[in-house]
Structure 1
Amino acid sequence: MARIAVIGAGMGAMATAARLAVAGHRVAVYERAATYGGAVGSFERAGFVFDTGPGLVHLPAVWRDLFLKTGREPLEKCVGLVQVDPASSHLFADGTRVTLPNASRAGIVSALDAALGGGAGERWGDFLGRARDAWDRSRRPLLEEPLRPDRQLLERDPYPALRQRRLLRTRQASTVAEVGARELADPRLAALLDGCVLGYGLDPRHAPAGASLLPYMEQTFGSWYVTGGLRELARAVYERCVARRVEFVFGAEVVSVVEKDGRAAGVELAGGEVVPADHVVACTGAVPPAGRELWAAGDVRPRAEAAGGLPGRFTVLLALRGARPRSAAHRTVVHSPDTGAEAEAVFGGRLADRPTVTVSRPDDPAGRPDGDHEAVTLSATVAGPSGGVDWSDGALRERYAETLVDAAARALGESPGALRERLLWREVLTPAETGSTPAPALAGPGGRHLHPANTTRLPGLYLAGGHAHPGGGLAHAGMSGALVAGLIVEGADFRGSQ
């Protein structure tokens, strides 16, 4: 039985801890905050409950597998998991609105054809077919296997872009934005693709075409809501860890990884206490310093942030009078009229004038005081905490909140004034409170969108969570836990999750 110290109590950290504890190891989790869950948080006030991080699950199989492998109770016995249908409603800049069913390619094609016309649904369906090829080609090395030094497969874009002959030259889309412009041939379809990719913290102007597997993943495997909010999933994972005798130490900041005899030998806490360990798993964006360089030439290193830093989320929580209409969509996306300008602002450290805004209206009695009130969450991708926007400026926060409220009014089919008359109170959260949004790992030229491997050059030190392979996102964080646990339990012979 090995002693294992896990740094951080986010979803990837807890997924790692639960699997290692079941394998017979003694696991202790050190979290500098006062609670677990990382980005999967909630805000409660006067009977209203809001998610402050992700609001939907898109690959529930990852979490089903965790609960299956760590105990007798399956996921659905620990949380209420509800398939969201319709999956989403989309309002475009020209006023066109389309509602997309959940996990039905034929239904999506039909809905787009009816709303947009001109063969839009057929083009989107053909695009999903190519995106499926990208998923099939890269799914296992991107999600289910450790990142190997021999990773040539992930340094090529897996998306089979159409070859188009123009002006005596044959061209292929190499970025998400180019896929939208050249293959989808409708600014609304392009906005649908760009908005999805931007929501994952990626710049559609530069993200490889292979990022198209992200909307494919959502539209194929569906969107799921956890009753009571995603925080309930975090609670269930935490309780599974506790049931497997994982020790949690909150308010414990790890300042360094201890090295002894050429390997990780524990962690040092703020205040000087040293906790011995046979293995250390770091699940935070900034790996605590150790006694040696953790990466060598040719390794994928932590990403150097662009001028705008890693993006984050600007979130507005609305407590409203009035019942939620039964016909309301759970999620409505109000698309920016210019996603290129939006991305330029986000990744350039500025605020977009017309951002893409997601409006979440879960039909969940646990989230509101009674049936005569409604809890609505608005969110937009923005420059992150180090991105150049002064998130401490109260006037700026309130002005931008008004921008999102105006977009929400369009989504709800109300005038901005009518929506404000329903408002009891609102809460504004910025990246200063919620942090940055690490993107999922992607295959592409030069491996520029990969994350550091789960192993490091210091034996005994491993990486999990959104800043390590396979990157950000709820499902990806859960997979990082499976990969690290496999590497510790099975060693270098571990070939990936089954």
Structure 2
Amino acid sequence: MARIVVIGAGMGAMAAAARLAVAGHRVTVFERTATYGGAVGRFERDGFAFDTGPGLLQVPAVHRDLFVKTGKEPLEARVDLVQVDPAARHVFADGTEVSLPNASRAGVVSALDGALGAGAGERWGDFLVRAREAWDRTRRPLLEEPLWADWRVLGEREPYPALRQRRLLRTRTASTLAEVADRELADPRLAALLESHALAYGLDPRTAPASAAVLPYMEHAFGVWYVRGGLRELARAVYERCLARRVEFTFGAAVERIVEKDGRAAGVELAGGTVVEADFVVAGVAPGVLERIGPAAARGADEVPAQHGLPSRLTVHLALRGPRPPDAAHRTVVHTDDRARELACLFGDGSGLPDRPTVTVLRPDDLASVPDDGHEALTLTATVPAYRDAPGGASRDAFAELADTMITRAGRAVPGLRDRVLWHEVRTPRDVAEATGADGGAVPAPALAAAGGRLLHPANTTRLPGLFAVGGWAHPGGGLPHAGMSGALVAGLIVEGPDFRGSQ
């Protein structure tokens, strides 16, 4: 039985802790904040309750596997998991609207043909077939296996089978997601639909590789799910599973230093000077934190560099008078009418916040989120630049002004919205940074192939024996399914050793 210290109580860290405890190890988690869940938080006021992080779940099989492997119990025995239908409603810049059924190719094709014109659905359906091929080629190395030692190979070849087109005596294929949209979808609304999946993860569709096609494919193939009571209930269930497997938690305990002895990780030093010895250390922290507390030997030039400069999210929680209409979509995406401006603000000239951002509106049909059935809880999110303390960085007042703009834009999805507002709460990138420790409140994206490997994440192993990295900032990257898989990978590497070849 090994002594294992886990730094942080995020979703990936807890997934690793539960699996390691089941394998017979003594696991202790030190979390600097007062609670578990990392980015999966909860805000409550006046009987209203809101998820402060992700509001929907994809690829629930990852968490189903966690619960079966750590207790031979289905996930559904611990949380009320429901499939969202429609998966999303989209309101495009020209006023066109479409609701896309959940996990139904035929239904999506029919809906797009009806809303955007004959042929639109077929083009999107054909795109999904090609996206599936990219998924099949990358699923194993990017989600289920430890990062390859020759990880650069993953960045060399584009797995998305882009259509070959002959233009001006030259044969060309799309290499970025924006080029896929332009050359294969042939409709600005389909392009907006495709690019919104990248934007939601803070990726620039103009530079994101064509392999980012796997992002909408994941949603299409595995569906979109909601947990009654909010995604915080999933975090609670994972935390309780850890407790049931005798994982020990200490909250309000900041790790100041990872202790190195005889060339390997040997424990941690807490604020105040207490040293806790361990045979293995698992760090579920953001890159800047690991660089600060980790020994210099933990990272090397031959490893995937940590990603920096990623965008964050601005979230607005709205308490509304009046009940939720029974036909309201759980999720509506209100697309920007100034794509160039939005992308320039997020990824280009740094000229400020987008004037008319793409806004996602979440309207859960969940009485646990409201004081009674005469009210509604609504959450708006937009991708925004991470905050910076340097001159020119967005201030809290600027974010408050953008939040007001988001409410106005959300009115396209929720008629009469402003007249129903009792109060609203704004959660800025600075708040995200305080909760997660990520620089500027940045949010990690899932690992993607191609693009020279720049969208991969550092391996779960480090150059310091005994020290492992877990969570959204390590392989295989951000998002709840990916964080859960990082926990499975770290547990496998510790339990089975360097011969571990991946989850089954």
* Pairwise TM-score range, normalised by the shorter structure: over 0.9
Separation in structure 1 between the aligned mates of residue 91 and residue 451 of structure 2, nearest angstrom = 33
* Structure 1 residue 398, shift from structure 2 partner: 2.5
* 1:16 counterpart = 2:16: yes
* Structure 1 residue 402, shift from structure 2 partner: 1.4
Question: Match for residue 463 of structure 2?
Answer: 457
* Structure 1 residue 153, shift from structure 2 partner: 4.3
Question: Match for residue 393 of structure 1?
Answer: 396
Separation in structure 2 between the aligned mates of residue 485 and residue 310 of structure 1, nearest angstrom = 28
Question: Match for residue 197 of structure 2?
Answer: 196
The answer to whether the 8 A contact 2:11-2:471 is kept is yes
Question: Match for residue 297 of structure 1?
Answer: 301
Query: In structure 1, what residue type is equivalent to 2:228?
Result: T
The answer to whether the 8 A contact 1:311-1:387 is kept is no
Which aligned pairs between 1:290-439 and structure 2 lie closer than 5 A?
290-303=294-307, 305=308, 309-348=309-348, 349=350, 350-386=352-388, 390=393, 392-394=395-397, 396-412=398-414, 414=415, 418-434=416-432, 435-439=441-445
Question: Match for residue 437 of structure 2?
Answer: none
* 1:494 counterpart = 2:497: no
Which aligned pairs between 1:175-190 and structure 2 lie closer than 5 A?
175-190=176-191
* 1:223 counterpart = 2:229: no
* Structure 1 residue 149, shift from structure 2 partner: 1.1
* Structure 1 residue 387, shift from structure 2 partner: 8.4
* Structure 1 residue 248, shift from structure 2 partner: 0.6
Identity %: 70
SS at the partner of 1:402? helix
* Structure 1 residue 256, shift from structure 2 partner: 1.3
SS at the partner of 1:133? helix
Question: Match for residue 46 of structure 1?
Answer: 46
* Structure 1 residue 177, shift from structure 2 partner: 0.9
Q: Deviations over 1:62-88 (max 9, x none)?
A: 000000000133210100000001111
Q: Deviations over 1:234-260 (max 9, x none)?
A: 000000001111111111111111000
* 1:253 counterpart = 2:254: yes
Query: In structure 2, what residue type is equivalent to 1:256?
Result: R
Separation in structure 2 between the aligned mates of residue 419 and residue 162 of structure 1, nearest angstrom = 43
* 1:36 counterpart = 2:42: no
* Structure 1 residue 392, shift from structure 2 partner: 4.4
Separation in structure 2 between the aligned mates of residue 432 and residue 441 of structure 1, nearest angstrom = 24
The answer to whether the 8 A contact 1:15-1:481 is kept is yes
Separation in structure 1 between the aligned mates of residue 451 and residue 46 of structure 2, nearest angstrom = 50
Query: In structure 1, what residue type is equivalent to 2:362?
Result: S
Query: In structure 1, what residue type is equivalent to 2:300?
Result: A
* Structure 1 residue 451, shift from structure 2 partner: 0.3
SS at the partner of 2:371? coil
* Structure 1 residue 406, shift from structure 2 partner: 1.0
* Structure 1 residue 195, shift from structure 2 partner: 0.8
* Structure 1 residue 420, shift from structure 2 partner: 1.8
Question: Match for residue 277 of structure 1?
Answer: 278
Q: Deviations over 1:438-493 (max 9, x none)?
A: 00000013211100000000000000000000000000000000000000000001
TM-score (norm 2): 0.95
The answer to whether the 8 A contact 1:146-1:469 is kept is yes
Separation in structure 2 between the aligned mates of residue 89 and residue 168 of structure 1, nearest angstrom = 40
Separation in structure 2 between the aligned mates of residue 420 and residue 334 of structure 1, nearest angstrom = 16
The answer to whether the 8 A contact 1:194-1:339 is kept is no
Separation in structure 1 between the aligned mates of residue 244 and residue 202 of structure 2, nearest angstrom = 34
* Structure 1 residue 393, shift from structure 2 partner: 2.8
Separation in structure 1 between the aligned mates of residue 451 and residue 378 of structure 2, nearest angstrom = 40
* Structure 1 residue 102, shift from structure 2 partner: 0.3
Question: Match for residue 138 of structure 1?
Answer: 138
SS at the partner of 2:65? helix
Query: In structure 1, what residue type is equivalent to 2:259?
Result: V
The answer to whether the 8 A contact 2:8-2:284 is kept is yes
* Structure 1 residue 294, shift from structure 2 partner: 2.3
* Structure 1 residue 291, shift from structure 2 partner: 3.3
RMSD: 1.3
TM-score (norm 1): 0.96
Query: In structure 2, what residue type is equivalent to 1:468?
Result: A
The alignment covers a number of residue pairs equal to: 489
Separation in structure 2 between the aligned mates of residue 152 and residue 272 of structure 1, nearest angstrom = 40
The answer to whether the 8 A contact 1:9-1:30 is kept is yes
The answer to whether the 8 A contact 1:391-1:430 is kept is no
Question: Match for residue 174 of structure 1?
Answer: 175
Query: In structure 2, what residue type is equivalent to 1:370?
Result: D
Change (3 A) 1:198 1:387: farther
The answer to whether the 8 A contact 2:282-2:468 is kept is yes
Question: Match for residue 438 of structure 2?
Answer: none
* Structure 1 residue 89, shift from structure 2 partner: 0.2
SS at the partner of 1:410? coil
Query: In structure 2, what residue type is equivalent to 1:293?
Result: A
Q: Deviations over 1:379-411 (max 9, x none)?
A: 0000113486645433x2331111111111101
The answer to whether the 8 A contact 2:471-2:477 is kept is yes
Separation in structure 2 between the aligned mates of residue 384 and residue 255 of structure 1, nearest angstrom = 25
Separation in structure 1 between the aligned mates of residue 305 and residue 258 of structure 2, nearest angstrom = 18
Question: Match for residue 125 of structure 2?
Answer: 125
Separation in structure 1 between the aligned mates of residue 388 and residue 27 of structure 2, nearest angstrom = 33
* Structure 1 residue 181, shift from structure 2 partner: 1.0
Query: In structure 2, what residue type is equivalent to 1:465?
Result: G
Q: Deviations over 1:112-159 (max 9, x none)?
A: 011001411111011101100000000000000000212354122211
* Structure 1 residue 293, shift from structure 2 partner: 2.7
